[in-house]
Amino acid sequence: MKKTDIDRICDLHIECFKGDFLPSLGKGFLKAIYEEVEFIYINSNGFIVGTQDSGKLFKRVIKKHFFRLLPQLIKRVILDSSLLKKVFETLLYSGTTKASTKVELLSIAVDKRHRKKGVGRRLVKLFEKDFKKKGFTDYKVTVKDKNLVANNFYKNLGFLYSYSFKLYNEKWNLYTKEIK
């Protein structure tokens, strides 16, 4: 993946997930994660990102980018101390999932001007093709309960609700999907 593509993905992520935890850490964090994920696609209208194991992914990010990210984290935490709790919650969450699979769709976003035209559905299909090649049989996704559009999107694409949990003081739903 080209650096300019990662840059575009980060910008779209920030635009589509305003106020969420990851964008609140700054673009540097997003870039570090997106440089390390194993599955990443972008087209002119959107992107999709996934990992084989988010616990291992976060460890990789910390190991490779620690000294670059630490000053940025300190700066952000001084401005908003609640971020530190969220960092720990994130690291803890990745190790405590009850789902049967570790393979995960981490995020998907479609440019606002191109939504509801089947772009998201196509991105998921591409993603699953790659998962299938790797021999994975199922994968999971977590989404905020209040994100009605995304919950509907996943249900419509054949994801099955598995369970709900609390993260960053919000209710999240976990879905799984069999890859056929």
Ligand X SMILES: CC(C)(COP(=O)(O)OP(=O)(O)OC[C@H]1O[C@@H](n2cnc3c(N)ncnc32)[C@H](O)[C@@H]1OP(=O)(O)O)[C@@H](O)C(=O)NCCC(=O)NCCS
Candidate ranges 30-38, 59-67, 149-157, 158-166; the one touching ligand X (CB under 6 A):
149-157
Indicate whether 12 belongs to the interface with ligand X (CB under 6 A): no
Nearer to ligand X, 47 or 58 (CB): 47
Least Å from the CB of residue 81 to ligand X: 26
**What is the rounded CA–CA span in Å between residue 154 and residue 171?**
16
Least Å from the CB of residue 28 to ligand X: 21
Return the residues of window 81-120 that contact ligand X according to CB under 6 A.
Answer: 107-110, 115-120
DSSP string, the chain: --HHHHHHHHHHHHHHTTTSHHHHH-HHHHHHHHHH-SEEEEETTEEEEEES-HHHHHHHHHHHHHHHHHHHHHHHHHH-THHHHHHHHHHHHHH---SS---EEEEEEE-GGGTTSSHHHHHHHHHHHHHHHTT--EEEEEEETT-HHHHHHHHHTT-EEEEEEEETTEEEEEEEEE--
Can you tell me which of 34, 39, 127, 153 binds ligand X, judged by CB under 6 A?
Answer: 153
Indicate whether 40 belongs to the interface with ligand X (CB under 6 A): no
Return the residues of window 65-84 that contact ligand X according to CB under 6 A.
Answer: none
**What is the rounded CA–CA span in Å between residue 100 and residue 37?**
20
Candidate ranges 49-57, 69-77, 148-156, 166-174; the one touching ligand X (CB under 6 A):
148-156
Total residues contacting ligand X by CB under 6 A comes to 19
Nearer to ligand X, 100 or 156 (CB): 156
Q: Return residues touching ligand X (CB under 6 A).
A: 16, 107-110, 115-121, 143, 147, 149-150, 152-153, 156
